[in-house]
Structure 1
Amino acid sequence: MSNQETNTRRTIITILRTEGPMSAGDLAERIGITEMAIRRHIATLERDDLIFPTTIRQPMGRPAKVYQLTEVADELFPKSYHSLMLDILEDIVRVDGEDKIQAIFDQREERLTSQLNEMLEGKSLEEKVQALAEMQNNKGYLAKWERKDDGSYEIIEYNCPIAQVSKVYPQTCACETNVFRRVLGTEVDRSQCLAEGGSSCVFKIETGEQTEG
């Protein structure tokens, strides 16, 4: 794909974000290219699940087909959720003290453990490891799992969507490890951590006797 094609598609996405749903003809006129060319870009953006067509009624004439952004496209725009989260956690410390932060993460651990135990009930250890890795991957952690030669397992996360928060509040990492340990019912050791400078987060999962989470 040429840089010009990429830039044109970014322009389409930006226009739809700032100006709202628009027809192919209006987009072509707005950008200054032919309608045939704009339709090729639209086809690619639809294929990539970044835009979708919808029909709107008009006071006169036939209904018009316009294009708008999907939720997937929304993720292309900068976000600063971590800044908001850090501000909130800092305010909590100022109002209620450091102990309140730990209480919040303890509650999060209980909630996630309960939810995951219900979702993974009846699965074998390997099935649970696979399911956890898939769930983390869907959340943007670029996670995978593998079985080692000694029979143990590893979940490896190559990205941390909350790394900025984890660097300030390591409770986030401890919470994740504890949830894995309780849901899997076996020992889980975090041997590497992105927030601590590692190249990935690596969770080593033993295959010893399982316990209740």
Structure 2
Amino acid sequence: MDKQGAPRREQARRLEILWLLKKRGSISVLELAEYFGITKAAIRKHLDVLQKDRYIDANIRRKQMGRPTFVYRLTPAADKFFPSHYDGLAIEMMDDIDCLFGNSFVDKLFERRMERSAQKYRKEMAGKEFEERLLTLAKLQDEDGYMVKVEKRKDGLYLLEEANCPISHIAVRYRQACRCELIMFAALLDAHVERTECIADGNRKCRYLVREKMGETDGLGRP
């Protein structure tokens, strides 16, 4: 038996649990057991370790019928396991730029960042219909660490969720980041885009409601 390999596999499984919690927000022992195809007892062992390390906590989920169940959520201590494109130096530099040149200069920095991203995304979206553009946007954002999920709802409405924000610590202080993302999504998709939740506001996810705009252009500046 590979005695050294077993602990590594257990650590890998616990990391998978953390990533699943990040995507779903909260989940029960039964749901975890069904997802991974292992026993509830095995799942509880992993959860006990994660709770001991203070990466997760438990809350009660009440039902209309039947007994309430415990569900598990991430704590702020688990943030270190997820993609993050910031550090203390980056925040200090943003503060210095704001102090030296003013807020309007900070606006321009985020607008330039938005245009660089939009230029890259346009190339991937060229010639695609609305739903294909939306799925391409989700794929590209996911590759950049945003952990994206798209859900199609009725009457042409879509839900786009981002379970992670790689620049969340910057976005909390400089909301231009959030504003530029919203503007970019609407322009690229040629859609009505509404943000209903935001990680920078303390929510667990950024959530967008997206509906195609039946207008004059296709989102890429073409008639």
TM-score normalised per structure 2: 0.59
Contact kept in structure 1, 2:190 and 2:213, CA below 8 Å: no
One-letter identity of the residue aligned with 2:152:
R
Instruction: List alignment gaps of at least 5 residues for structure 1.
Output: 11-74
Amino acid at match of 2:98: V
| 1:174 and 2:175 matched | no
Q: Where does 1:1-213 land on structure 2 (aligned, <5 Å)?
A: 5-6=6-7, 81-210=86-215, 211=217, 212-213=219-220
Q: Distance in 1 between matches of 2:82 and 2:160?
A: 29
- One-letter code of the match for 2:210? I
- Asked whether the equivalents of residues 82 and 162 of structure 1 are also in contact (C-alpha less than 8 Å), the reply is no
1 or 2 for the larger relative contact order (CA 8 Å, sep ≥6)? 2
Residue 80 (structure 1) shift? 8.0
SS in 2 for 1:132: helix
Amino acid at match of 2:185: F
CA distance in 1, matches of 2:170, 2:200: 9
The alpha carbon displacement at 1:4 in A equals 8.2
Change beyond 3 A, Cα 1:150–1:87: same
- Would you say how many aligned residue pairs link Structure 1 and Structure 2? 149
Structure 2 unaligned spans of 5+: 12-79
* CA displacement, residues 105-138 of structure 1 (integer Å, 9 cap, x when unaligned): 1122222222211221101110111111111112
Q: Distance in 1 between matches of 2:91 and 2:105?
A: 14
Q: What displacement does 1:172 show?
A: 0.7
Cα distance 1:79–1:99, how it changes in 2: closer, same or farther (>3 A)? closer
1:68-115 per-position Cα deviation (integer Å, ceiling 9, x unaligned): xxxxxxx97998833222111011112211111001111222222222
Q: Which amino acid aligns with 2:178?
A: C
Cα RMSD (Å): 3.0
8 Å CA contact 2:86, 2:166 repeated in 1: no
Q: Is the 8 A contact 1:147 1:153 kept in 2?
A: yes
User: In 2, are the aligned partners of 1:113 and 1:183 still within 8 Å (CA)?
Assistant: yes
